[in-house]
Chains A and B, each alone.
Chain A
């Protein structure tokens, strides 16, 4: 087991980063917002975290702090113009936002264009990455015990009714997007600081699809589900040798199977089994 762990430490790092990304989307989905800009928030923080380390020699922790702050601000800026959009319209607008940022990163000198940035110090080790994941999980757990969590659930289930009982639904939508941006930003800096180089393609629509798939497989309205979904999606093709060659088909089939047969995701199956 220990040798499996050490020989696959890269995989475990990846797993925690994917879990953070899924959590960042889960926060938005829990408020009923299909906002698909998480990969873009991740990219903003990844680039800022990389540039600060490469050209200013900043250590990891300030990189995470500044990167996550920037992605949070970006999420807040995005939240304002899209505040009137719901459902697929919100999804499309946020996808468009992500694509614009990807094209900008492809064309700027600062971001190294399509070739991206390299020589990023690989100082985000497994302990740091899992430390970040645990801190985010604790923070989300504490949040889930507040009144705000109730407001989030009410906004998701019925926005009009939630407003009727005095929930500030606009505030819920704004702050969940911002929180999602912050978590995606942490994941982005960790990604940059554990991968040596980054390119704009790392943060495109393909990445966004992966994040969405992890959330839905786990159960789109639960934080635990998001983590479980990331674990399944990252480990399944690696542990079952036979599936490794068919990774994409497997992902597609799992996704389809969950959507059709377990609409509440793996977390929903668990809840159903318990009750």
Chain B
């Protein structure tokens, strides 16, 4: 029973982690909280659903959804953040313009798709579950967990071992020094947004598959939970977001099993509040709290 709950928690946690990684990547590089991340999460799930419904194979639709999410991310940066960057607008103003974009994306999605819940036609749910001793895992859970893990490992490789990753890390460390050393700032930021948004989009698609449900409001829950995850892990820390995501997934599943599902979300925000008050750097955040 406990083992089964932990496995469920691992699957949920992998999606939280994937979502939070994109959230925290943008924060780490630009010091801004992108509240449109959840809208991109939702739009990618809808795009993939539309492609699958039109007969496109699932894996291709998945890639299409991620690509769209990445492009929306670049557009988001051009429209909502780049003009503010040029006039050094601080942290409040970009946060607000990202709320503006998220309202617009949500309204457009509602206009196109309405408020009805959608289900993936012949999703992976039909495949028989796999039994491993006392544990039961469905194909959908395996795919969700595997894809999330593969994407996070891929990101880690890109950041560690490629020229782009080096540029991103350099800009995150010290923007001025990076530019002086020849890093193309705007291109690096655009790529950061592409990667972060594509990962956020992938999290949305996997969430839609996992619960076999896509709605225009699906981003509302994860938007604030993602905040709890990156606070727990430490703002700007990729490792922290991954670990935080898995911890939140496990704690939530266990609290549903052993306490009550009604209080599940209160635990996430309770932990977030306590971490902020007691250890604002989170588990892995390197930088101390700064005034903004």
Using a CB–CB cutoff of 8 Å, the interface residues on chain A facing chain B are 34, 81-82, 84-89, 91-93, 95-97, 99-100, 103-104, 106-107, 159, 205, 209, 212-213, 216, 220, 246, 248-249, 251-253, 255-256, 259-260, 263
Contact = CB atoms under 8 A, between A and B. Distances in A.
A256 B272 CA distance: 29
Interface of B: 33, 79-80, 83-84, 87, 89, 91-93, 95-97, 99-104, 106-108, 110, 223-224, 227-228, 231, 235, 262-263, 265-266, 269-270, 272-273, 276-277, 280, 289-292
Contacts of B87: 263
B33 A91 contact: yes
A36 to B, nearest CB: 10
Among B108, B110, B224, B269, the one with the most A-chain Cβ atoms within 10 Å of its Cβ is B269
B224 A213 contact: no
Contacts of A216: 96
B224 A89 contact: no
A176 B71 CA distance: 42
A251 B106 CA distance: 12
Given A259-B84, A259-B97, A260-B84, A95 B227 contact: yes
Contact of A99 (B33, B96, B101, B265): B265
A252 B103 contact: yes
Nearest to B106: A248
A89 B231 CA distance: 9
Contact of B289 (A86, A96, A213): A86
Contacts of A91: 33, 95
Given A107-B262, A212-B96, A99 B84 contact: no
A132 B94 CA distance: 33
A100 B270 contact: yes
Contacts of A249: 103-104, 107-108
A248 B107 contact: yes
Contacts of A89: 235, 276, 280, 289, 292
Given A99-B224, A100-B266, A209 B99 contact: yes
A159 B104 CA distance: 35
Contact of B292 (A88, A95, A263): A88
Contacts of A209: 99, 103
Among A93, A97, A213, A253, the one with the most B-chain Cβ atoms within 10 Å of its Cβ is A93
Among A87, A91, A104, A106, the one with the most B-chain Cβ atoms within 10 Å of its Cβ is A87
Contacts of B96: 212-213, 216, 255, 259
A107 B104 CA distance: 32
Contacts of B106: 248
